[in-house]
Amino acid sequence: MDFHCHLDLYPNAREVCAQAVERNTFTWLVTTSPRAFTATSKVLGGHANVLITPGLHPEIVHDRFAELANLLEQIKHVSAVGEVGLDGSRRFRHSYEIQREVFTAVIAQCANVGGRVLSIHSRQAVRDVLAVLDDHPGFGTAVLHWFTGSLAELKVASDKGCWFSIGPAAFSSASGKALAKKLPRDRVVPESDGPFAQVNGAAVMPWSSDDTAELLAHAWDLSVDEVKLNLEFNSRRLIGLIHTAD
Ligand code: MN
């Protein structure tokens, strides 16, 4: 299973996709722009266990905000959305106001159409992401991907009912390990965030959920089998929420 993967951006995307179809029960392919969603749906679409969703990545919003209307239209016809969100890190500060406009419009649209499941980027922007969600009750279900906020922010997000997707690369730092310990265990699913996320210089692959289970088992002081069952159970629930939004 993989709940956040840029399958279309691996150098050998067709081959990686074919393997993901075989090896995973479920792969969520998040696209980074409305046009990428359309193109990727044509090239990699048609597999029952690969969910392809429209998004507008905060790191490219400054180039692509003109595609917002297209994204809002696409959201009407899908059950899940991503990758969307806010990035408050220094590199993308310059586009923060436009990012916020785009993200607010996306969340408002999700609420308008009865709720969607969203894979959300929140690097150095957790408070603002949560504020936008708070302003739009009925937006659906938020899955915060590769959460890197503070422990206090994790608690706030968790208390609001957010889900979390986490992959092997998140355990590379001490702060990532500390956060992993505190994730709400009934709302955690595996992700790769490949090919961007890397471990030991290699892109994390979509079939890395067993590695994530091992890392979580260590963080939670449980057996790997217990964590695998837990992740499977959570994954089924989240896929159920996606289907309900259909
Ligand atoms: Mn991503």
Q: Ligand 1 centre and the CA of 83: distance in Å? A: 6
- Report if pTM > 0.95: yes
Rg over alpha carbons for the chain, rounded to the nearest Å, is 17
104: nearest Cα among 126, 82, 85, 76: 85
Q: Ligand 1 centre and the CA of 6: distance in Å? A: 6
Q: Ligand 1 centre and the CA of 197: distance in Å? A: 8
Q: Ligand 1 centre and the CA of 35: distance in Å? A: 17
Q: Ligand 1 centre and the CA of 32: distance in Å? A: 8
Q: How far is CA 245 from CA 51, 79, 118, 242, in A?
A: 13, 5, 11, 5
Q: Ligand 1 centre and the CA of 54: distance in Å? A: 13
Q: If you search the block for the tokens 């969910």, which residue do you land on?
A: 51
- Which tens digits make up the pLDDT trace of 222-246? 999 999 999 999 999 999 999 887 6
Count of beta carbons in the 10 Å neighbourhood of residue 76: 11
DSSP string computed for 215-245: HHHHHHT--HHHHHHHHHHHHHHHHHHHHHT
- Which tens digits make up the pLDDT trace of 80-139? 999 999 999 999 999 999 999 999 999 999 999 999 999 999 999 999 999 999 999 999
**Half-sphere exposure (Cβ direction) of 221: Cα atoms closer than 13 Å:** 3
